[in-house]
């Protein structure tokens, strides 16, 4: 737990499409606006010849610089390049994704004239750095501690990598909080004064890239997760993709031209589709219009809400399927749910709301919390609790989360033996005894898996370690105790001990091949520091150039408004023209060169105008 003297702790909702940051102060949560005055910030990072842009500035240039503007990085977090979802997404993104070491997806961009590769956690760390800076500007002091949220259905690898991204951004990550629980905190505090009864609440969180469904039992001060379900690859981006594909085919049918090989045209079309999707939440139909979309052809078409729903109906049905699964795992019926709470921007889609309401036999859906801000709100409350900065209203809150997927080991040839079933309340500790599978073994490999498949190889390998040094014996004689221990962040430690000799070994799931190693984090920290230094130097250049230009053009304005002798006037006019030409020729000059030039001009012009 962080101390009170370490400054304010913030809550960050690191989203697929947008991110949000909040802080607890003056006995309430403040959602912090960014430098554009917006309460949510696009999860975009853009690279160009001179600088790295993050947030609104990056999204504003995406149509002009599509191949070097990265978004949806959260969809790559903790995944392998060989995953089919990564391959499919890569076909839709304008930027390149390549295979790095250990099957890790690497994002390829051109930055300052050179080709650079970034991991998903590095891109995420840049967004987290931006959120940290937004908070620091608002609070007027440095920020060190943060609670970061993740989808409930993120596996152990994805949670760990998200924590790594926080470390790379310079934050002390107090806790990794699952998004539905964070939203439940926002809902619970909002309803706390109106009712003290125990309620079963279903949180339906449909965002830009992920779907989370969680059932919680909420008492006066207790939030206990009963079950969770969802998909880390289902959200608003997928609905956009369906619309983009529909209009790509429409354009091809009309003009016999395929725009899929033109990243800029695709990006402009996607932006128009995103706008249309939002419009269809309150309109029966809307128009898509993009000037000079491809080959000088203007594109305009109409889409109705009914067509949009038809394009995405299978995805909407999938969402309801996860609700059914979540209720089944919680061993609850529809009538047991007191409230259905909507979270995430994509819950604004009327068809999603209708299907959900129909599923719950006409129950009125709860829209009392802000769908875009609720998760950051809950994270800020948790941050205040962990740092002892909250008031009595929140300090007695108790959060009980569950494991999203089953955890176990490989036994026999390829059997998944589950030690911790999914939806087990955490923190938790479970022990199982095993024996050797062959005669005269002196070592045994413990492979740790996560997933629901009966074959271990069909699940996610989290890590492995070797227990060795026990004496050879017939099969089934050697007894090995395996212990699974999950902390409050959902991070797993596995240990094994041979009974007769006491030989032990263990692994914390953090340094296996598909998760960021300490050396890799160190490299990323250095890279982040270098990029920050470069950005600061670039900022100095911009400021120095701005100062010099203002001085030259202000001097020219003063000259135009003055009455000088002809000879003096001609001399000043020549010098002004020379200075303006110098500015055009030294657009990318270093800050010290620009500052030196200003001092030279000041020494000449200021003295001259004083004489006059």
Active-site annotation, residues? 13, 74, 179, 205
| Reported confidence tier of residue 514, pLDDT bands at 50, 70, 90 | very low
Q: What is the 3-state secondary structure (H, E, C) of 215-266?
A: EEEECCCEEEEEEEEEECCCCHHHHHHHHHHHHHHHHHHHHCCCHHHCHHHH
Residue 88 has pLDDT above 60, yes or no: yes
For the segment 261-275, the average pLDDT, to the nearest whole number, is 93
| Reported confidence tier of residue 2, pLDDT bands at 50, 70, 90 | low
From the list 440, 438, 465, 461, the residue with the least C-alpha distance to 451 is 461
| Reported confidence tier of residue 257, pLDDT bands at 50, 70, 90 | very high
Beta carbons of 369 and 187 less than 8 angstroms apart: yes
> 455 Cβ partners below 8 Å, 6+ apart?
414, 415, 416
Residue ranges of E strands in 355-459: 398-402, 407-411, 415-420, 425-426, 428-435, 443-450
Beta bridge partners of residue 178, listed in sequence order: 150
How far apart are alpha carbons 330 and 180 in whole angstroms? 15
Beta carbons of 549 and 601 less than 8 angstroms apart: no
What pLDDT does 597 receive? 84
468: three-class secondary structure by DSSP: strand
Q: What is the 3-state secondary structure (H, E, C) of 2-71?
A: CCHHHCCCEEEECCCCEEEEEEEECCEEEECCCCCCCCCEECCEEECCCCEEECHHHHHCCCCCHHHEEC
Highest mean pLDDT among 130-134, 161-165, 367-371, 424-428: 130-134
Beta carbons of 105 and 99 less than 8 angstroms apart: yes
For the segment 320-344, the average pLDDT, to the nearest whole number, is 94
Which tens digits make up the pLDDT trace of 405-420? 889 999 877 888 999 9
Residue ranges of E strands in 451-502: 460-468, 479-486, 492-498
541: three-class secondary structure by DSSP: helix
What pLDDT does 564 receive? 66
Indicate left, alpha or beta for 292 from its phi (over 0: left) and psi (-120 to 50: alpha). left
| Reported confidence tier of residue 519, pLDDT bands at 50, 70, 90 | low
Beta carbons of 125 and 524 less than 8 angstroms apart: yes
For the segment 119-142, the average pLDDT, to the nearest whole number, is 95
Residue 193 has pLDDT above 50, yes or no: no
164 phi/psi in degrees, rounded to 5 = -60, -40
Beta carbons of 236 and 343 less than 8 angstroms apart: no
Q: What is the 3-state secondary structure (H, E, C) of 173-196?
A: EEEEEEHHHHHHHHHHHHHCCCCC
Q: Are strands 339-343 and 415-420 parallel, antiparallel or unpaired?
A: unpaired
For the segment 265-293, the average pLDDT, to the nearest whole number, is 94
Residue 424 has pLDDT above 70, yes or no: yes
Least confidently predicted of 354-363, 456-465, 517-526: 517-526
Residue 441 has pLDDT above 60, yes or no: yes
> 607 Cβ partners below 8 Å, 6+ apart?
none
Query: Which tokens hold the place of 164?
Result: 């790594």
CA dist 373 to 33, 277, 347, Å?
Answer: 11, 20, 13
For the segment 284-304, the average pLDDT, to the nearest whole number, is 93
| Reported confidence tier of residue 612, pLDDT bands at 50, 70, 90 | low
Q: Omega of the bond prior to 394 within 30 degrees of 0, cis? A: no
How far apart are alpha carbons 350 and 367 in whole angstroms? 13
Q: Can you count the helices (H) and strands (E) in the chain?
A: 14, 28
Indicate left, alpha or beta for 458 from its phi (over 0: left) and psi (-120 to 50: alpha). alpha
What is the spatial order of strands in the sheet that 339-343 belongs to? 339-343, 199-206, 211-218, 222-231, 398-402, 425-426
What pLDDT does 252 receive? 94
10 phi/psi in degrees, rounded to 5 = -110, 160
Mean pLDDT of the chain: 87
Least confidently predicted of 105-114, 232-241, 342-351, 598-607: 598-607
548 phi/psi in degrees, rounded to 5 = -65, -45
342: three-class secondary structure by DSSP: strand
Q: What share of the chain is helix, strand, coil (3-state, %, to 5)?
A: 40, 30, 30
Query: Full-prediction pTM beyond 0.75?
Result: yes
Residue 478 has pLDDT above 70, yes or no: yes
Beta carbons of 248 and 299 less than 8 angstroms apart: no
For the segment 24-47, the average pLDDT, to the nearest whole number, is 94
525: three-class secondary structure by DSSP: helix
Going by the DSSP 8-state scheme, the letter that residue 506 receives in this structure is E
Residue 157 has pLDDT above 80, yes or no: no
CA dist 97 to 74, 81, 94, 242, Å?
Answer: 13, 8, 9, 21
| Reported confidence tier of residue 541, pLDDT bands at 50, 70, 90 | confident
């Amino acid at each position: 737990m962080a101390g009170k003297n370490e400054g304010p702790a913030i809550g960050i909702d690191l989203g697929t499409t947008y991110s949000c940051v909040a802080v607890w102060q003056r006995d309430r949560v403040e959602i912090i606006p960014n430098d554009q005055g917006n309460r949510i910030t696009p999860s975009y990072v853009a690279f160009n010849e001179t600088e790295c842009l993050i947030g609104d500035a990056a999204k504003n240039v995406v149509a002009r610089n599509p191949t070097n503007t990265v978004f949806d990085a959260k969809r790559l977090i903790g995944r392998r390049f060989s995953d089919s979802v990564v391959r499919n997404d890569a076909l839709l993104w304008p930027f390149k994704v390549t295979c790095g070491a250990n099957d890790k997806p690497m994002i390829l961009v051109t930055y300052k004239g050179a080709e650079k590769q970034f991991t998903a956690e590095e891109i995420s760390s840049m967004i987290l750095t931006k959120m940290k800076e937004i908070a620091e500007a608002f609070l007027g002091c440095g920020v060190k501690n943060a609670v970061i949220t993740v989808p409930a259905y993120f596996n152990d690898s994805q949670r760990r990598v998200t924590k790594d991204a926080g470390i790379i951004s310079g934050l002390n990550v107090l806790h990794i909080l699952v998004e539905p629980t964070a939203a439940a905190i926002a809902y619970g505090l909002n309803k706390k004064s109106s009712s003290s009864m125990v309620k079963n609440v279903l949180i339906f969180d449909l965002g830009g890239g992920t779907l989370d469904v969680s059932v919680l039992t909420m008492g006066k001060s207790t939030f206990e997760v009963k079950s969770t379900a969802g998909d880390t690859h289902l959200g608003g981006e997928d609905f956009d993709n369906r619309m983009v594909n529909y209009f790509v085919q429409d354009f091809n049918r009309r003009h016999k031209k395929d725009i899929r090989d033109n990243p800029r045209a695709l990006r402009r079309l996607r932006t128009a589709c995103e706008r249309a999707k939002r419009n269809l939440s309150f309109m029966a139909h809307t128009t898509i219009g993009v000037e000079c979309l491809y080959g000088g052809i203007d594109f305009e078409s109409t889409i109705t809400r009914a067509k949009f729903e038809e394009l995405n109906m299978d995805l909407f049905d999938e969402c309801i399927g996860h609700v059914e699964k979540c209720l089944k795992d919680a061993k609850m019926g529809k009538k047991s749910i007191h409230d259905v709470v909507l979270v995430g921007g994509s819950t604004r889609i009327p068809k999603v709301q209708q299907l959900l309401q129909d599923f719950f036999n006409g129950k009125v859906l709860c829209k009392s919390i802000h769908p875009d801000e609720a998760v950051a709100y809950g994270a800020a409350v948790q941050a205040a609790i962990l740092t002892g900065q909250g008031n009595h209203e929140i300090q007695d809150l108790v959060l009980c989360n569950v494991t999203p997927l089953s955890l176990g080991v490989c036994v026999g040839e390829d059997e998944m033996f589950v030690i911790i079933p999914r939806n087990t309340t955490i923190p938790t500790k479970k022990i199982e005894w095993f024996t050797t599978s062959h005669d005269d073994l002196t070592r045994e490999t413990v492979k740790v898996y996560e997933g629901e498949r009966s074959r271990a190889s069909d699940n996610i390998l989290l890590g492995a370690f070797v227990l060795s040094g026990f004496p050879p014996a017939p099969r089934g004689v050697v007894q090995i105790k395996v212990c699974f221990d999950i902390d409050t962040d959902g991070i797993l430690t596995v240990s094994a001990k041979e009974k007769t000799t006491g030989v032990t070994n263990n692994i914390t799931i953090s340094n296996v091949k598909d998760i960021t190693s300490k050396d890799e984090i160190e490299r990323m920290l250095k890279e982040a520091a270098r990029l920050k230094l470069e950005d600061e130097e670039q900022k100095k250049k911009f400021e120095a150039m701005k100062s010099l230009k203002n001085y030259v053009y202000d001097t020219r304005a003063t000259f135009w408004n003055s009455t000088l002798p002809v000879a003096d006037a001609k001399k000043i006019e020549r010098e002004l023209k020379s200075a303006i030409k110098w500015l055009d020729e030294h657009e990318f000059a270093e800050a010290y060169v620009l500052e030196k030039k200003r001092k030279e001009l000041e020494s000449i012009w200021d003295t001259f105008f004083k004489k006059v």
